[in-house]
Amino acid sequence: MAIEIPTDLTPELVPLSWLIGVWEGSGKLGEGEADDEHFWQQVTFRDTGLPYLEYRSESWLTDAEGTRLRPLAVESGFWSLDRKQEAADPGPGMTPGDPFPVLRSADDVERLRTEDGFKIQASINHPGGLSELYYGVINGPRIQLATEALLRSENSKPYASSTRIYGLVGGDLFWRWDVSQGDSDLKAHASAALKRVGQTEPGQAGEDGNQE
């Protein structure tokens, strides 16, 4: 399936461009066995006009037929190429950057490519006093992420590390999330298959989707 790249996209987001949009679908907790619980999810990747994508995920527990039972989880954060921040970049806080992006052309971006693909980072925040920083690699329509650091409040639940993988297969977004709570190795936590149901424009959040 061809990947359509917005013409006004910041050059360094081109490797991540296939994620942009609103995705919806169903999944299962744990290993995805017959008796594992079902969930429904909406994921939005939005171009902010800056050199990162805004990420948001909302999910609900469902029955086997897909009827929503109750809210399950909310995540939010930012995804970008992993590179050193320059004086021309915006931030920290509301410090404005230069009017032109640091990486201005495909050639500039291509210089960041490694043998395994482009290095990326993702910061993901959760309710309950937990924030994750992932490092990983994007290689075409495939992403691998692993936690580099965790920030936990003193009252948060145990959580030690995690990995996530994403892949675009036949136009659908498949993902898997493995988690360690500190007393064991990584274990299957959740997985899902999502379909793109809409696009997002820079500066606009994705519209809430309705489950069919």
What is the tens place of the pLDDT at every residue in 100-129?
999 999 999 999 999 999 999 999 999 999
CA dihedral 153, 160, 157, 124 (to 10 degrees): 60
- Has residue 140 been placed in a domain? yes
- 80 in Cβ contact with 119 (< 8 Å): no
Please provide the size of the chain in residues. 212
Pull the structure tokens for residue 44: 């939005």
Number of domains the chain contains: 1
Average pLDDT, the chain: 91
- Has residue 39 been placed in a domain? yes
The pLDDT of residue 2: 54
- Has residue 107 been placed in a domain? yes
Domain that holds residue 109: 11-198
- Has residue 207 been placed in a domain? no
As a whole number, mean pLDDT of residues 60-79 equals: 97
- Has residue 6 been placed in a domain? no
The pLDDT of residue 183: 78
> Each residue of 162-180: pLDDT tens digit?
999 999 999 999 999 999 9
Enter the pTM of the model: 0.90
Question: Which of 3-12, 93-102, 162-171 comes out lowest in average pLDDT?
Answer: 3-12
> Does 20 score more than 90 pLDDT?
yes
Q: Which residues of 26-56 are buried (b: 16+ CB within 10 A; e: fewer)?
A: bbbbeeeeeeeebbbbbbbbbbeebbbbbbb
- Has residue 5 been placed in a domain? no
As a whole number, mean pLDDT of residues 138-162 equals: 96
- Has residue 208 been placed in a domain? no
Nearest alpha-carbon partner for 173 in 13, 5, 16, 19: 19
157 among annotated binding-site residues: yes
The pLDDT of residue 185: 92
As a whole number, mean pLDDT of residues 150-169 equals: 96
Q: How far apart are CA 113 and CA 94, in angstroms?
A: 29
Amino acid at 194: L
The pLDDT of residue 32: 85
38 among annotated binding-site residues: no
- Name the percent of the chain lying above pLDDT 70: 91
The pLDDT of residue 35: 87
The pLDDT of residue 211: 41
> Does 89 score more than 60 pLDDT?
yes
- Has residue 128 been placed in a domain? yes
Q: How far apart are CA 152 and CA 132, in angstroms?
A: 9
The CATH number of whichever domain residue 168 belongs to comes to 2.40.128.20
